[in-house]
Amino acid sequence: MCCDMLKTQSLETMGGSGSGKGKIPTVYQCDSNNRQSQTVVSEMDGTLLVGRSSFAYFALIAFNVGGILRLMLLLLAAPFSGLLYHLVSESAGIKVLIFATFAGVKVSSIESAANAVLPKHYSEDLHPETWRVFASCGRKCVLTANPRIMVEPFLQNYLGVDVILGTEISSFKGVATGLVAGNGVLVGESKAVALKKAFRDQEMPHVGLGDRDTDIPFLELCKEKYMVPPRPGTQPMRPEKLPKPVIFHDGRLVQKPTPGAPTHFPGGKGVVFVCNHRTVCDAVVVSSCLHRMTTTISYSVASFTEFISPIKTSKLTRNRAKDARLIEQILNQGKFLVMCPEGTTCREPYLLRFSALFAELTDRIVPVAISIKTGMFHGSTARGHKWLDPFFFYMNPFPVYDVTFLEMLPPHETCKTGKSSFDVANNVQKMIAETLGYKCTTLTRKDKYGMLARTDGLVNSKATT
């Protein structure tokens, strides 16, 4: 399965909010040339890593040292941790995560999981601009609220970090107590204190990198300071560009156990992903590529197919007014809607006429071009048992889905500026066809079923003689 990267418009924040933060230049303005003799200090979450939350890494450790029960304990503790984080302090929230993850676990098991499991996942989330500056400096230091025992193997072995300052956990006879040792959780002012202590007999770092107001105390100790603003759509650096690639790794989970992350679009109304139709699996594959649960609409899909579908399916009626209300209701809830306005599948490199209904209901439209490759069975049928469609597709020895997300339509290409819904639909059809190298037609579902099954394509319609 191949998914081209979804292209979105980034919201470029140059300074962020906060009186101190707004005065600090961003990492994008930092010159990385001729810094081999300099020292850099960087925060980890949201700075060295694109992700601003460390919860997924706690979850990976929990699952790998304690299995599903330990992971469930962490998940149960997460809401309480979040509540303390916002109502009491960042430190209090992190202490809950540390206790739920580490209490009663052998320190050797934690070290083993941190060494064998976490590097792969950390390496897939490095911020490209931070890395550009970080890698250019000869001496490197990382400050983090995360337990040092979690991050040290990756930072030391794969990034060549010289000094790692993180939260220390306490233990008794080789078993973690779940409590924090030393000076507590490394947040806010305590980061500055730790940095001063680590560099007390040396020159303070030349370059400081952070991503939030609480990083300012340690940034003020550096000769140059830069913020890494959150930019939706920032893609992590490719892991193979690391000084030392992660070749061997362990752990059962393929991906970080994070909730489906929404793709960020301006505004709050839902987005329509308009696809050409290849098989009944189209919407599921698109949802998988988005890493988000979506909703799809369908007509005459087998009940069994709906039952096994991992995403929500809403049924169309072929009553235009009712279907329009259904689609509007989905979009007004802010959901991502995947739809195939051809109304039926087409096996050959042609696109059927696109229904214009989607263009009448929203100006937030993302065209999606889909092609498939099969070697033995077709994953669609007009006369056979439709509930077998997904099974036949996946019975192919090497089935391939190729999904390409195009740019969201600009306002002037939608009905918002006066274009007719038919012009918009035809333009989306043309864009998808050009991407795939297919040809556009004016044929419809009715034409297909009239030719192949001698029906009008409606449910319960009888074949004509």
Average pLDDT score, the chain: 85
Name the band, by pLDDT with cuts 50, 70 and 90, for residue 327.
confident
Does the structure show a pLDDT above 80 at 383? Answer: no
Does the structure show a pLDDT above 70 at 307? Answer: no
Does the structure show a pLDDT above 50 at 40? Answer: yes
Task: Convert 114-143 to b/e letters by CB count within 10 Å (16 or more is b).
Answer: bbebbbbbbbbbbbebbbebbbbbebbbbb
- Give the mean model confidence (pLDDT) for residues 366-389: 82
Name the band, by pLDDT with cuts 50, 70 and 90, for residue 266.
low
Q: Where are the beta strands (DSSP E) in 148-257?
A: 163-167, 169-172, 175-180, 207-210, 224-227
Lowest mean pLDDT among 131-140, 163-172, 242-251: 242-251
Name the band, by pLDDT with cuts 50, 70 and 90, for residue 252.
confident
Residue 25 CB contacts under 8 Å (≥ 6 apart), including other chains: 225, 226, 227
The pLDDT tens digits of the residues spanning 384-433 come to: 777 777 778 778 888 888 999 998 898 889 998 888 999 999 999 999 99
Name the band, by pLDDT with cuts 50, 70 and 90, for residue 145.
very high
Does the structure show a pLDDT above 80 at 312? Answer: no
User: Given this model, what pLDDT does residue 305 score?
Assistant: 64
**What six digits make up the tokens of 283?**
């919407």
Task: Calculate the alpha carbon distances from 107 to 62, 65, 101, 120, 175 in Å.
Answer: 13, 10, 12, 21, 5
Nearest to 153 by CA among 121, 178, 185: 121
- Give the mean model confidence (pLDDT) for residues 146-151: 97
**What six digits make up the tokens of 58?**
């706690």
Q: Hey, what's the torsion of the CAs at 377, 383, 386, 389, to 10 degrees?
A: 10
User: Given this model, what pLDDT does residue 20 score?
Assistant: 42
CB contact at 8 A, 338 and 282: yes
Name the band, by pLDDT with cuts 50, 70 and 90, for residue 21.
very low
DSSP lists the bridge partners of residue 147 as 167
Lowest mean pLDDT among 74-83, 266-275, 359-368, 402-411: 266-275
* Distance in angstroms (rounded) separating the CA atoms of residues 15 and 21: 6
Residue 199 CB contacts under 8 Å (≥ 6 apart), including other chains: 205
User: Given this model, what pLDDT does residue 10 score?
Assistant: 29
Higher pLDDT, 288 or 154: 154
- CATH 3.40.50 in the chain, residues? 17-174+181-228
User: Given this model, what pLDDT does residue 19 score?
Assistant: 37
Lowest mean pLDDT among 163-167, 218-222, 267-271: 267-271
User: Given this model, what pLDDT does residue 61 score?
Assistant: 95
Q: Where are the beta strands (DSSP E) in 184-264?
A: 207-210, 224-227
Higher pLDDT, 448 or 147: 147
Does the structure show a pLDDT above 70 at 295? Answer: yes
Percent of the chain scoring above 70 in pLDDT = 88
Residue 357: count of CB within 10 angstroms of its CB: 16
* Distance in angstroms (rounded) separating the CA atoms of residues 417 and 267: 18
- Give the mean model confidence (pLDDT) for residues 325-353: 87
Strands 175-180 and 169-172: antiparallel
- Give the mean model confidence (pLDDT) for residues 134-141: 96
Architecture of the domain defined by 17-174+181-228: 3-Layer(aba) Sandwich (3.40)
User: Given this model, what pLDDT does residue 268 score?
Assistant: 58
Higher pLDDT, 367 or 459: 367
Residue 114 CB contacts under 8 Å (≥ 6 apart), including other chains: 61, 149, 150, 151, 152, 153, 154
Does the structure show a pLDDT above 70 at 18? Answer: no
Does the structure show a pLDDT above 60 at 244? Answer: yes
User: Given this model, what pLDDT does residue 306 score?
Assistant: 64
Name the band, by pLDDT with cuts 50, 70 and 90, for residue 95.
very high
Name the band, by pLDDT with cuts 50, 70 and 90, for residue 239.
confident
- Give the three-state DSSP class for 326: helix
CB contact at 8 A, 153 and 120: no
Does the structure show a pLDDT above 70 at 16? Answer: no
Name the band, by pLDDT with cuts 50, 70 and 90, for residue 300.
low
**What six digits make up the tokens of 318?**
């072929």
